Structure 1
Amino acid sequence: MIKVGLMGGTFDPIHYGHLLAAETAREACGLDEIWFVPSYVPPLKPNEPGAGGDVRLEMVYRAIDFQPHFRAMDVELERGGISYSIDTVMELQALYPGRAFSYIIGSDRVNDLSSWHRSEELAKLVSFIGVERPGEPIDQSGLPSYIRERLTIVEMPLIEISSTDIRKRRSEDRSIRFMVPEKVYSFIMRNGLYES
């Protein structure tokens, strides 16, 4: 069985924090591959994304082209509408049998898991990998047992980068160099993304 970690999100833009979380989870949990799945409309952030789906997918491709264990998947962008994880997992299981899927989630999102659309059903189909940052411990006590039983926590080195901050810095004409991979930086600059 091929073990695949799924990294969902807007990736608006993708940055080194996303890549570090993916690699940390891959190494700690013995995953064979990490699939980055840009959302069309994220259910928990309905006012995002800022850049279009094709642009965000292109940035993901540019960010991961050096890593043989990373892939970009456009299933949520192709499907359109609100990007519910349960729909994505069911579609990926049908398209790619023989794979065991795990969702990789930042510590800020782990406590939201029980509010995810059809979360109990999702927990029967996937396991969860909570990426814990130093100073941001994951508190499992408030999680239902069906999530706790399917949750593995891995510790990630501290890196304070967010897509929100990157967009804000660009709108203020401040540098984002070394916050995103060089190919993503060049793409953002060449296309004038996130300028005010």
Structure 2
Amino acid sequence: MKKVGILGGTFNPPHIGHLMMANEAYHALGLEEVRFMPNAVPPHKQSSGATDEQRKKMVELAIEDVPYFMLEMFELERGGLSYTSDTMSTLVQQEREVEFYFIIGGDSIDHLHTWHQIDDLVQIIKFVGIRRPGSDAITKYPVLMIDAPQIGLSSTLLRERFSLGKTVQYLLPKPVEAFIRKEGLYGARSLT
């Protein structure tokens, strides 16, 4: 079976923490690819700052130099609330030759018990967990934990830094930063 990682999220904006998680899972588990899947309307978060098209573009820019990173458009194309259980049920049916590994950070592990239809979901995919600073990463559900560098970085922090005119250097890929500044996202100003 083909082993495929899925990293879902708002990617508002995508940053090096997302890339590190995907890369660590790819190498630790011998995956054939990792798909970055922007969600349409996340059930656990308020979306802010960028349109679906802008988030899609930022993901494309973030992963463009990595041949085993792909963009998965399923949730954006479907629209509406993005429940992982619905998405993965459909993907498992459409791609029967694939074993899916759903990559989550420690903060998501702490809240797995709140996920829609979690008992069904753990029957059809494997969860891969990566610890994050400030999370316990403890759950009763099966999660394959992998060792990876931890970084306390979030899209929220980046949006705040852009809005305040603070540095974001080394925190997200240069092409993503350039796009954000060009589009004026999150209150960012162009560097001149």
* Normalised-by-shorter TM-score class: over 0.9
1:102 is paired with a residue whose SS is strand
Q: CA deviation at 1:66?
A: 0.7
Asked if the contact 1:134/1:157 (under 8 Å) is kept, the reply is: no
Partner of 2:42: 42
Q: CA deviation at 1:102?
A: 1.2
| TM-score, scaled to structure 1 | 0.90
Partner of 1:4: 4
> May I ask how many residue pairs the two structures share in their alignment?
188
- Give the 3 Å change call, closer, same or farther, for CA 12–134 of structure 1 in structure 2: closer
Q: CA deviation at 1:94?
A: 3.2
2:42 is paired with a residue whose SS is coil
Structure 2 unmatched runs, 5+: none
Q: CA deviation at 1:87?
A: 1.3
2:146 is paired with a residue whose SS is strand
Partner of 1:154: 146
Please state if 1:184 is matched with 2:173: no
Partner of 1:194: 186
Supply the distance in 2 between the matched residues of 1:74 and 1:24 (Cα, whole angstroms): 22
Code of the residue aligned with 2:129 in structure 1: it is: G
Asked if the contact 2:110/2:135 (under 8 Å) is kept, the reply is: no
Supply the distance in 2 between the matched residues of 1:176 and 1:135 (Cα, whole angstroms): 21
Supply the distance in 2 between the matched residues of 1:82 and 1:68 (Cα, whole angstroms): 30
1:6 is paired with a residue whose SS is strand
In terms of mean alpha carbon deviation, does 186-195 or 88-97 score higher?
A: 88-97
Structure 1 unmatched runs, 5+: none
Pairwise mapping of residues 1-196 of structure 1 onto structure 2 (< 5 A)?
1-45=1-45, 47-133=46-132, 136-140=135-139, 143=140, 147-148=141-142, 151-195=143-187
2:185 is paired with a residue whose SS is coil
**Percent identity of paired positions between Structure 1 and Structure 2:** 39
Q: CA deviation at 1:35?
A: 0.6
1:71 is paired with a residue whose SS is strand
Supply the distance in 2 between the matched residues of 1:26 and 1:113 (Cα, whole angstroms): 22
Supply the distance in 1 between the matched residues of 2:113 and 2:101 (Cα, whole angstroms): 16
Q: CA deviation at 1:135?
A: 6.8
Asked if the contact 1:133/1:155 (under 8 Å) is kept, the reply is: no
2:58 is paired with a residue whose SS is helix
| TM-score, scaled to structure 2 | 0.92
Supply the distance in 2 between the matched residues of 1:158 and 1:111 (Cα, whole angstroms): 16
Asked if the contact 1:42/1:48 (under 8 Å) is kept, the reply is: yes
Code of the residue aligned with 2:163 in structure 1: it is: S
In terms of mean alpha carbon deviation, does 52-61 or 169-178 score higher?
A: 169-178
Q: CA deviation at 1:50?
A: 2.5
Q: Deviation per CA, 1:39-98: give whole Å up to 9, x if none.
A: 1111111x2142111100110001001111110111111111110001111222233331
Q: Deviation per CA, 1:73-130: give whole Å up to 9, x if none.
A: 1111111111000111122223333100011000111021121111111111101001
CA root-mean-square deviation? 1.5
Supply the distance in 1 between the matched residues of 2:49 and 2:95 (Cα, whole angstroms): 30
Q: CA deviation at 1:153?
A: 0.4
